[in-house]
Amino acid sequence: MTLLYSEVEEELRAAVRGLLADRCPPAAVLKRIESEPYDLDLWKTLAGEIGVAGLLVPEEHGGAGASASEAAVVLEELGRGVAPVPFLTSAVLATRALLPTGDALLGELAEGRRTAALVVPFAANPYRPADGVRAEGGRLTGTVTGVAGADVADVLLVPAGGRLHAVEEGAAVQVVPSLDLTRPVATVTFDGVPAREVGACDLGEVLAFGAGLLASEQLGVAGWCLDTTLAYVKERHQFARPVGSFQAIKHRLADLWLDVVRARAAARSAATDGSPVSVAVAQSWNAGVAVHAAEEALQLHGGIGMTWEHPVHLYLKRAKASEIALGTPGDHRAALASLVDVPGPE
C-alpha cells in the first residue's frame, strides 16, 4: 500500500483540473447556483469523455475497472472546484450500492448515459443506517428528506427492508433551500410508486465507502481554501506591507498547512486501504480540516470574504454540509472507540 499518487492518478487529476479550469471556474459556479446549480453539460464531458462515471465499475459491466484510489483523485479536484456535478452521488454512492447486484443499469451509469441517486438522507450515519421507505407488492411508500443528487437523477435507487429498488418514474422530488448551494438536497416522496427490485443492499457498507471517499473531496476543498488565501495575503497590503508578512497571519497559515498535509495522508489512506479504521480516521480529521480551512479563508480575506461575489462562501457551505454528510466527525470517532479498543466509561 502506498500513500503517494501514481502516474495514472496524476494524469487523471490533470485532465479533470484542466477541464474544470476551462469550463467551470469558481466564478462560473457562482453565477449559476441560483438558477440551475448543476452543470450537466460539464458532467456529460467528465462522465463520457474523461470517463470518470465508470471508474468504480468493473470492465465486465462496461466500466473502467479502476479503484477507489482513482475516484478519490477525481473527488479531490471536484472539491477543489466545488464543481456542481453528481459524481459523488451517482458514480460513487449509487454505483457502489448497485455493484453487488450486477444489474444492467451499471453499464449505463458507467458510460454516463444515465445518472442515479441513492435515496437516503445525505446526513445518514453509516454506523446506524435506517431506511424510511416501505416496499409492498412492487410498490414503494414513504418520504426521505435531505437526499443529495436526486433532482438530477434519471433513476432513483431506494433501499427498503435490506433490498435495493430502482424507480424511474412517479416519485416526487422537491428540492429544498439548501446550505450547500452546489449540492442541494431534496425531499423525495413515494406514494405507492412502482419499483423494480434489483437485489440486496448493505446500506451501512455503501455509506461508509462513500464517507471514505468524501474525505478526498474535503481535502480538495481545504486545498483550494489554503491556496487561495495564500495568494490573497501575498497580494493584499496594509501598513505598507503584504498582510502575509505578519506573523499573526503566517503562523495561522503554517498551522493550516500542517492540518492539510495530514488530511492528505488520511485521505490517501482511506482511499487505498478502505478499512473501517482508515475511513473513520479520515472522516474524523478531514471533515473538520475542510471547515476550518474555509473559515480561515473567510476571515483572512477580511470583508471581501463576507461578500456574495467572492466564491469562498461556496466552499464554506460545501465544507460545513460535508462535515454533516455521511456521519459527523463525532459519529466516526464514536465508531473508532470500538474499532481501535478505546472503550468509554463503564
Partner 1 sequence: MDVTIKERVAAFLAEHDPDGDRLEFLRARFDAGLAWVWFPQGLGGLGAPRELQQVVERELAGTPQINSGVQGIGLGMAAPTILTFGTEDQKRRFLRPLWTGEEIWCQLFSEPGAGSDLATLATRAVRDGDEWVVDGQKVWTSGAHHARWAILVARTDPDVPKHRGLTYFVCDMHAPGVEVRPLRQITGEAEFNEVFLTGVRLPDDLRLGEVGDGWRVAQTTLMNERVAIGGAPVRRGGGMVGVVLDAWRARPELRTHDLHQRLLSLWVESEVTRLSGARLREQLAAGQPGPEGSGLKLSFARLNQALTGFEMEFGRELGYDDWTFRRSEDVDFYGRGPGYRYLRAKGNSIEGGTSEILRNIISERVLGLPSEPRVDKDVPWKDLPR
Task: Identify which of residues 2 and 35 has a Cβ nearer to partner 1 in the complex.
Answer: 2
Task: Indicate which single residue of 8, 14, 21, 261 sits in contact with partner 1 (rule: CB under 8 A).
Answer: 261
Segment interacting with partner 1, rule: CB under 8 A, options 32-40, 66-74, 112-120, 276-284: 276-284
Segment interacting with partner 1, rule: CB under 8 A, options 29-37, 71-79, 111-119, 261-269: 261-269
Q: d(Cα 246, Cα 241) in Å, to the nearest integer?
A: 8
Total of chain residues touching partner 1, rule CB under 8 A:
44
Task: Indicate which single residue of 224, 269, 271, 331 sits in contact with partner 1 (rule: CB under 8 A).
Answer: 269
Q: d(Cα 327, Cα 268) in Å, to the nearest integer?
A: 19
Task: Identify which of residues 4 and 169 has a Cβ nearer to partner 1 in the complex.
Answer: 4
Beta bridge partners of 156: 117, 167
| CB distance 213 to 71 below 8 Å | yes
Considering only residues 214 through 233, tell me which ones interact with partner 1, judged by CB under 8 A.
230, 233
12 Cβ neighbours under 8 A, 6+ residues apart: 50, 70, 73, 74
Q: Where are the beta strands (DSSP E) in 161-204?
A: 163-167, 172-175, 185-194, 196-200
Task: Indicate which single residue of 183, 264, 310, 317 sits in contact with partner 1 (rule: CB under 8 A).
Answer: 264
Site membership for partner 1, residue 262 (CB under 8 A): yes
Residue listed under C-alpha cell 466509561: 345
Task: Indicate which single residue of 268, 292, 301, 317 sits in contact with partner 1 (rule: CB under 8 A).
Answer: 268
- Spell out, one character per residue from 231 to 260, where the chain touches partner 1: x when CB under 8 A holds, - when not: --xx------xx-xxxx-xxx-xxx-xx--
Q: Pick from 216, 67, 210, 212: which is nearest to 149 by CA?
A: 210
**C-alpha 8: how far from chain center:** 22
What value, to the nearest 5°, has the Cα angle with vertex 190 and ends 188 and 192? 175
Binding interface with partner 1 (CB under 8 A): 2-4, 230, 233-234, 241-242, 244-247, 249-251, 253-255, 257-258, 261-266, 268-269, 277, 281, 284-285, 330, 333-334, 336-337, 340-346
